[in-house]
Structure 1
Amino acid sequence: MPTVEQNLILWGKPDGWKDDGDKWSVKWGGTDLEWWASIFPRIRKFLPASTMLEIAPGFGRWTQFLKGFCEQLIAVDVSPACIERCKERFASDPHVRCYVNDGKSLAMVEDRSVDFAFSFDSLVHVEADVIAAYLNQLGKKLKPGGFAFLHHSNLESYRKSLWLPKAIGRPQPIGADAAKPAPMSRSLWLRRRLQSKLTDWGLVNTFDNRAESMSARIFRESCDAAGLDCRSQELVNWNHGPSLIDCFSVVTPRDGNTRKPSRLLKNPHFMDEAEWARRIAEFYSGGSRD
């Protein structure tokens, strides 16, 4: 259950970004392959965009691509180290502006100014209260007809099967959701509790530090409260088997009082994209003139 403070400690150390975060794209065979094979096809219809907002850019792993599709790009991150690196990395790009925030606010962004907001492989680490805060902000910052593509955790939907403890920001279960999960062995129960305690202390998380209070359902509820329509959600696996612990959500400001239904896609083969991108790139690089 990482808090904003724990995430700042975990991701705010410059020595953890020696390769600008490219190590997290190794399964694709490189950051450029992950962008073109898995990210760009999902957001291409929103590009180009005049004014773009990137939430939690880290050391600019995706900023380097996004900046070529806009007239102005605003990058906002809770980590001063990340923002300093982005300022250094994109110093020759005057249309890229970088700001440190408090992990929830977008006060430095003008209302109704953003055509497209983006976050990938970052907000998966923040809990439901942080996601709700950012959605409330996006409800004010997005232009009418603007869109946001946000990558967040879906781990809360596995709460029963994983026996996850109540997490910060998670609504209390009611009705059928309040039923106790099926019994598990005492050794497994103790193992889960130990893992959860270590995660509470910011020491370990066996699910790639995914936020335990966040799910696709909770995201939709937060969108509704923020006056946003959640247009689509793709549930995907991430590194560990077929469990759909991540979600890609597309949102836009609500037009009047009409709520449009959200489309849902379950994709347990997301990591196959990474494998195929890497294998194809390796195959053709073997036929180069080098």
Structure 2
Amino acid sequence: MTPVARRTADIASDWKSNSYYAFAEQQAWTDVFWNPTSQFRRLFEQLDSSKIVDLACGHGRHTARLLDVRSGSDAPETVYLLDVNQENIDACRARFNHDPRIEMYCNGGYDFHPIPDESVTAVFCYDAMVHFEFDAVFSYIRDAARILRPGGRALFHHSNFASAPGADYKENPHWRNYMSRSLFAHAANRAGLSILDQVTINWDEETHLDCLSLVERPVDANLILVARQERKFDFYRRMRRKLKSLVKG
């Protein structure tokens, strides 16, 4: 087992023996994410949910709400449920076994396997990535770029807590792990994804504790490469002008 997989498994085990999943099913808890006036819902409405992944699905509470808000002509063709805990996948199978659109997999905790390359239109992850180690977050970002179709988008709810590097995440407010809005944006850029929107949000009494990041795999991946080259050329032009002014001076 790799270090990132081991850390993910350790974090996932913290949620096996507590009562989180029972409480999380309450409508008051899910309304935080699915209320029409929430930032979560505003950004979610920018996803094409035709073939969508619910990462760290738990017992499937968000997929249940997804199927409520996207019905009729907007109904998903396929929903992939991924979770590192087999117990959660078993719970989802019991809950959704009647629905042929839903595929459920226990994954390794750092990528989207076995989902094929360029096969999904969207990914979302709510109330889980906030606890992930930074290297697991980066790994998922890189693999999201693999599974998203050109033009596909991902919406990640992640931590914006960067005040205690190296601390045990359970010692941080609301068990948030070390991550920030800017670190996430940097990782997404390096993975070839475009940042469409980032919104920091409060969680209970903690201000700007979390962040919602909406990213897109460009239709033409070369556009990002061109933008990077243009930034490099602009840097070199500025340096050349500066050197010329120093020589003249």
TM range (shorter): 0.7 to 0.9
Aligned residue in 1 for 2:213:
249
Task: Report matched runs for 1:132-281 at 5 Å.
Answer: 132-156=138-162, 159=163, 164=164, 166-167=165-166, 196=167, 199=168, 204-212=170-178, 214-241=179-206, 243-254=207-218, 255-259=220-224
SS for the counterpart of 2:140 is: helix
CA distance in 2: counterparts of 1:245 and 1:95, whole angstroms: 35
2:21/2:58 contact within 8 Å kept:
no
- CA gap of 1:223–1:34, structure 2 versus 1, over 3 A, is closer
CA distance in 2: counterparts of 1:224 and 1:31, whole angstroms: 30
- CA gap of 1:155–1:90, structure 2 versus 1, over 3 A, is same
Identity %, equivalent residues: 28
1:17/1:59 contact within 8 Å kept:
no
Shift in Å at residue 222 of structure 1? 0.8
Per-residue CA deviations over 1:234-266 (Å, capped at 9, x if unaligned) read: 01111124x2110000011133343489xxxxx
1:43 and 2:9 equivalent?
no
Runs of 5+ consecutive residues of structure 1 not aligned to the other structure:
168-195, 262-290
CA distance in 2: counterparts of 1:20 and 1:82, whole angstroms: 15
Shift in Å at residue 227 of structure 1? 1.1
Per-residue CA deviations over 1:70-91 (Å, capped at 9, x if unaligned) read: 1100011111111111111111
CA distance in 2: counterparts of 1:115 and 1:52, whole angstroms: 6
Counterpart residue identity of residue 220, structure 1? A
CA distance in 2: counterparts of 1:222 and 1:3, whole angstroms: 19
Runs of 5+ consecutive residues of structure 2 not aligned to the other structure:
1-5, 229-249
1:131 and 2:132 equivalent?
no
CA distance in 1: counterparts of 2:98 and 2:182, whole angstroms: 41
- CA gap of 1:101–1:141, structure 2 versus 1, over 3 A, is same
Shift in Å at residue 20 of structure 1? 6.3
Q: Aligned residue pairs: how many? A: 212
CA distance in 1: counterparts of 2:124 and 2:31, whole angstroms: 17
Counterpart residue identity of residue 36, structure 1? N
Of the three residues 16, 19, 22, the one matched with 1:12 is 16
- CA gap of 1:153–1:40, structure 2 versus 1, over 3 A, is same
2:60/2:92 contact within 8 Å kept:
yes
Which segments of structure 1 move beyond 4 Å, counting only runs of 4 or more? none
1:120/1:150 contact within 8 Å kept:
yes
Please report the RMSD computed on the Cα atoms of aligned residues, expressed in angstroms.
2.3
Aligned residue in 2 for 1:65:
65
Aligned residue in 1 for 2:24:
21
SS for the counterpart of 1:102 is: coil
Aligned residue in 1 for 2:236:
none
1:11/1:79 contact within 8 Å kept:
no
